[in-house]
Amino acid sequence: MIVEGYFLKYRDVIWSIKGCYHPDGYAVAIPRLFNGVKIKRLNDALEVVRTKFSNLLKYVDEIGFNVPLVPLNESEILDPFNAKIFNNRVREFLRFFNGDVGITGSYLYLGKGNDMDFLSFKPEHYYVLEELRKKGITKPLSTVEESEIETLDYSSFKILKSKRILEGIFEGRGYTFKIVQCEKFGPVREVKEFEGYVRILKSIKPFTIPVKYLVTDNHGNEYILTSFRTRFTELLPNMEIFIKGKILVRDEFNDMDLDIAEIVKLKSF
């Protein structure tokens, strides 16, 4: 099973696998390391695809738009759960979780990095992170890099990042912890534009990816906010958010996908 958090090496480029749905023989993935340069923004990665790998772009019903499909039979799969770990700080952090946690990000594809990125399939690991924060073993993040800013404005990004348990600092080094719990969304039947405020009525799945929140707009219409990105985890009920983006109309629900939104901005929480 290859999902969000795994990486590929294809045509001398390191690709980051995105989401949970992947057509047989392919992975939905975007460039992460291209010509030795790390690509952090989604839009920048997609621009590389459009200019250098446009032949990979295909429409996928379950996603609702064109995405890069990387052929697995021409790729090397980088498995977070089989990575060799030499860094003592990484090893020490992993000891809190009794195994079952993979190392992803630059430690997976380069063997080194400034920040530590972890992958888990177990929701209970979130409560371990909570305990580590309560005991002061980890600390909240207080700084934001300009290269990280995308979709969310600076102020919203910084506020959410500082309150998040899934991100923080351990022994002076930043970490991101991604817990993946895949589910089937079904095909996209229609795509609609949306611009306005929504309020979170319920956090359905706030810390496991894909996250899901029940929201309502100013007219009483209900949607499900979804995302595969850590920046949209741990949102709370009653948060008001301005969104300019798209609604993916599916058989079971109206999917307001934050990952393809143009603007996401907190009003209050």
- Provide the sign of the torsion angle of the four alpha carbons 251, 221, 20, 18, taken in this order: positive
Band of pLDDT at residue 161, cut at 50, 70 and 90: confident
What is the DSSP pairing of strand 101-104 with strand 116-120?
A: antiparallel
Note whether 73 and 85 are same-domain residues: no
Residue 155: per-residue pLDDT: 80
Instruction: Express as a percent the part of the chain with pLDDT over 90.
Output: 85
Please indicate, yes or no, if residue 2 is contained in any of the structural domains.
Answer: no
Please indicate, yes or no, if residue 1 is contained in any of the structural domains.
Answer: no
Residue 142: per-residue pLDDT: 79
pTM for the full model? Answer: 0.93
Note whether 38 and 54 are same-domain residues: yes
Instruction: Express as a percent the part of the chain with pLDDT over 70.
Output: 96
Spatial separation of the C-alpha atoms in residues 180 and 172, rounded to whole Å: 26
- Provide the sign of the torsion angle of the four alpha carbons 258, 259, 265, 267, taken in this order: positive
Query: What's the mean per-residue pLDDT of the chain?
Result: 93
Distances from the Cα of 223 to the Cαs of 207, 212, 253, 261, in angstroms?
18, 10, 7, 14
How many Cα atoms occupy the beta-carbon half-sphere of 247 within 13 Å? Answer: 19
Note whether 70 and 87 are same-domain residues: no
Note whether 166 and 224 are same-domain residues: no
**End-to-end alpha carbon distance in the chain:** 37
The residue out of 179, 214, 249 marking a domain boundary is: 179
> Checking phi first, is residue 220 left (phi over 0); if not, alpha (psi -120 to 50) or beta?
left
Residue 268: per-residue pLDDT: 58
The residue out of 179, 205, 221 marking a domain boundary is: 179
The residue out of 19, 43, 78 marking a domain boundary is: 78
172-229: per-residue pLDDT in tens?
999 999 999 999 999 999 999 999 999 999 999 999 999 999 999 999 999 999 999 9
Does pLDDT of 269 surpass 80? no
* Count of domains for the chain: 3
Domain enclosing residue 174, as ranges: 80-179
Does pLDDT of 158 surpass 90? no
Note whether 195 and 249 are same-domain residues: yes
